[in-house]
Amino acid sequence: MTSLLASLMRPGVFGSLLLAVAFAAAWEWLPGLAGIPPFIIPPLSDVLAESLRMLRIDALITHTGITLAEVAVGFLLGCLLGMVVGYGLGMSPTAEMMLSPYILALQIAPKVAFAPLFVMWFGYTVYPKILVAVLIVFFPVMVNVLGAMRTVDRDMVNLVRSFSAGRFQIFWKLEFPASMPALFSGLRIASTLAVIGVVVGEMVGGNTGLGYLLVFGEGQANTAMVFVTIILLTVIGILAYAAVIIAERSVLHYLPKRNLGPA
């Protein structure tokens, strides 16, 4: 209990809590004082009341669970695909030269524009949402991994080769560990983009999930429902980002930690 209180009293944490309280108070009272009607910006109390109504009537927990599962699957598959392609291109300059124009063309194309196409191909199922998430997650992971592979110290590679190390041994003992910081930087970005991909898929062709509730709330002109959905999507993004941070701290425990104390 004492350690928890000590953590909460740290300047950064305490200041963040104060900002959260100030934001909640401003959200509750400022729209009314400024004469903004509730259908434009509903007070925080109305949003909380709407969330309770959605829990009872609109199966909010079920829709949230579906979106969370789709985000997790899309994130994992997209990261795996990005790692495989990134490491593969990094190990083979010839393959990189051959495939780079096509990967670049796919990267330039708006990923969200593929959502209607996936819906036409796979129908109103879970697959279009996951595929959009995979497509969006793939690029930051692949680019970070490929960039890390390009910057590996060539002198170290030559030194390992002088000990008769094979190509796979060079990758596993030198290139893969050296790329881990860049990989986790890509995973941080991908964890938030996965939420965007799933929501786009649900909004274009879905009858479940928070993206569907977002469109439903818009159609009903229920601003409070839209705010509830946005808040829950933000929470899912924060959870995904936090999971990456926890994994990063576990894997990259040997890196020096940032000093948050006074200078």
Q: What is the pLDDT of residues 119-154, one digit of tens each?
A: 888 888 888 899 999 999 999 999 999 888 888 877
The answer to whether residue 7 sits within a structural domain is: no
pLDDT at 87 over 70: yes
Q: Is residue 178 part of a domain?
A: yes
Q: Is residue 159 part of a domain?
A: yes
In a domain, 129, yes or no: yes
pLDDT, residue 107, reads: 79
Structure tokens at 204: 């274009």
CATH number at 106 reads 1.10.3720.10
pLDDT tens readout for residues 203-260: 887 788 899 999 888 888 889 999 999 999 999 999 999 999 999 988 887 666 654 4
* pLDDT tops 60 at residue 1: no
Helix (H, G, I), strand (E, B) or coil at 153: coil
Alpha-carbon span 64 to 84, nearest angstrom: 30
Angle at 89 between CA 171 and CA 161, to 5 degrees: 30
pTM of the model: 0.84
Confidence of residue 3 (pLDDT cuts 50, 70, 90): low
Mean pLDDT on 36-43? 86
pLDDT category at 263 given cuts 50, 70, 90 is: very low
Confirm if 46 and 224 have CB atoms less than 8 A apart: yes
**Cα–Cα dist 5/18, whole Å:** 15
What average pLDDT does the segment 45-74 reach? 90
In a domain, 8, yes or no: no
Q: Is 196 a domain residue?
A: yes
Residue with tokens 């190990």: 91
Domain of 219?
Answer: 45-251
Asked if residue 77 belongs to a domain, the reply is yes
Does residue 148 belong to any structural domain of this protein?
A: yes
**Higher confidence at residue 111 or residue 198?**
198
**132, two tokens:** 């959009």
Domain count, the chain: 1
Torsion region of 72: left, alpha or beta (phi above 0 gives left; psi -120 to 50 gives alpha): alpha
